[in-house]
Amino acid sequence: MPMQPSRSRQGQFRVHMAIVMSSVMVAGCAANEPAETSQSVLAGKSVYPISSSQAHDVLKRSVYQSFAGSRIRRLRTGYRATLRVAVDRHYISAVMEPAAGKKANGERVAGFIFRVYDRGTILISGPIRARRLRERIHREARLITAPVQYAGPSTRPSPTRRGRRSSGSGFVINASGDVLTNNHVAGKCDKLTVRLQGRDYSGNLLAQDVANDLAVVRFAGIPIRTIARLSARRMRLGGRIVALGFPLTTILGKDLKATTGNISGLSGLGNNSAFFQFTAPIQPGNSGGPIVDETGAIAGIAQSKLRAIKIARRTGSLSQLVNFGVKSRTARGFLSTHRVPFTVSRTNRTLSTVDVVSNAEQFTVLIKCN
């Protein structure tokens, strides 16, 4: 009668076979994987200035591509895959964390870092698969934007909590339902909607420019009456403009508001040539709305206003009607870079203010951020 191996030897044999089988599985997958990235990319200290919804999308695509066929569970801050290899059950989690980044010029931006954790008994398969998942995550994130240097934990709310509700303005720029707005309006939302003709339409962030505070949201299927045309005319100091948008909707109502003014400066703070100054009054909620010139074309996008009380405390003088917008020229460059279709206006025919507003109200929309 043959002797039965001891339980300890059986256990050693199973672990040995699990390691061998996992090595074979990894070798089979490795042929389709691109070259490894640098150790600094894998360190988890590359900050990507993207929204929480974009960060979730990066993790979702990476995990599902890396572990197709395995059990995958969504976490509040990421995803976890459960792998079964022989006698082992292995867990690999990919999560995102809010972080502050620092650009080469010293500017601080909010974003996310990604981390990958593995837990199990297999000594070869888990770490290798976790490392390759990290590489894939960074490749996916780089398709959205380039990373910046880590500058410490973020002060903005964690993505595990529901973000505050807010709203802003935007305008339709093509027949696909793409809406141009500010990045600070749409860039950090888990859900974006517009309401037109009694219906809500959901949108997805298509492109963003953190430095120039621009973003494009695609609201597929929205009813389009007309599209905005971006001015190609040279911006002139003193030119007449109209600012349109949906400011303070909880106080002033959800109907479109229009204010008039002039172009008061050809650059923004610190002589930033991507921006300009204007005098048409704006309020919270105007952000992302169109600044329309006297021909009905888009001269710029409302972006911010000078904080008069704060300036008064510093200077002893109350500033009035100092508002900032992103130039049409800057927006055209942004859209061209991301291959978003738009139309340019070259007309010099001037319209009355009433006609300018009547035309602009057909393409200006209220954006809700949740």
Residue 343 C-alpha from the chain's centroid: 24
Which pLDDT does position 27 carry in this prediction?
28
For 121-156, what is each residue's pLDDT tens digit?
A: 555 567 788 888 999 999 988 888 889 888 877 654
Which pLDDT does position 240 carry in this prediction?
96
Neighbours of 311 (CB within 10 A): 14
Nearest residue to 319 via CA among 328, 306, 330: 306
Homologous superfamily (CATH) of 166-171+226-364 is Trypsin-like serine proteases (2.40.10.10)
Which pLDDT does position 242 carry in this prediction?
97
Tokens of 249: 């909707």
Give the span between the Cα atoms of 236 and 169, in whole angstroms.
25
Give the span between the Cα atoms of 111 and 136, in whole angstroms.
18
Which pLDDT does position 313 carry in this prediction?
53
Sequential DSSP letters for 280-336 = S---TT-TT-EEEETTSSEEEEEEEE--HHHHHHHHSS---S-EEEEEHHHHHHHHH
Which helix or strand (DSSP H or E) is residue 369 part of?
strand 364-369
Which pLDDT does position 14 carry in this prediction?
45
Tokens of 141: 């994130």
Backbone angles phi, psi at 271, to 5 degrees: 60, 30
- Domain range list for the chain: 43-153, 166-171+226-364
Which pLDDT does position 220 carry in this prediction?
83
Give the span between the Cα atoms of 6 and 75, in whole angstroms.
42
What separation in angstroms does the CA of 276 have from each of 28, 80, 181, 299?
57, 47, 16, 10
Enumerate helices (H) and strands (E) in the chain, giving the number of each: 9, 20
Which pLDDT does position 316 carry in this prediction?
58
Longest dimension (CA), the chain: 106
Residue type at 3 in one-letter notation: M
Nearest residue to 211 via CA among 264, 285, 268, 156: 268
Which pLDDT does position 90 carry in this prediction?
77
Residue 214 C-alpha from the chain's centroid: 10
Which pLDDT does position 85 carry in this prediction?
67
Share the mean pLDDT of the chain.
79
Nearest residue to 343 via CA among 231, 249, 177: 231
Residue type at 48 in one-letter notation: Y
How many CA atoms are closer than 13 Å to the CA of 10, on its beta-carbon side? 6
Nearest residue to 274 via CA among 237, 321, 328, 336: 328
Residue 112 C-alpha from the chain's centroid: 11
In order along its 370 residues, the chain shows pLDDT tens digits of 444 444 444 444 444 443 333 333 332 222 222 222 322 233 447 899 888 778 888 898 899 888 887 888 888 788 888 887 666 677 888 888 888 888 888 888 888 899 888 776 555 567 788 888 999 999 988 888 889 888 877 654 444 444 457 889 999 999 999 999 999 899 888 889 988 777 889 999 988 888 888 999 999 888 888 999 999 999 999 999 999 999 988 888 888 999 999 999 999 877 888 999 999 999 889 999 999 999 999 999 999 887 644 554 555 554 567 899 999 999 999 999 999 999 999 888 999 999 999 999 999 999 999 8
Give the span between the Cα atoms of 206 and 179, in whole angstroms.
9
| Helix boundaries (H) for the chain | 7-30, 39-42, 52-66, 125-142, 183-186, 249-252, 308-315, 328-337, 353-360
3-state secondary structure of 86: coil
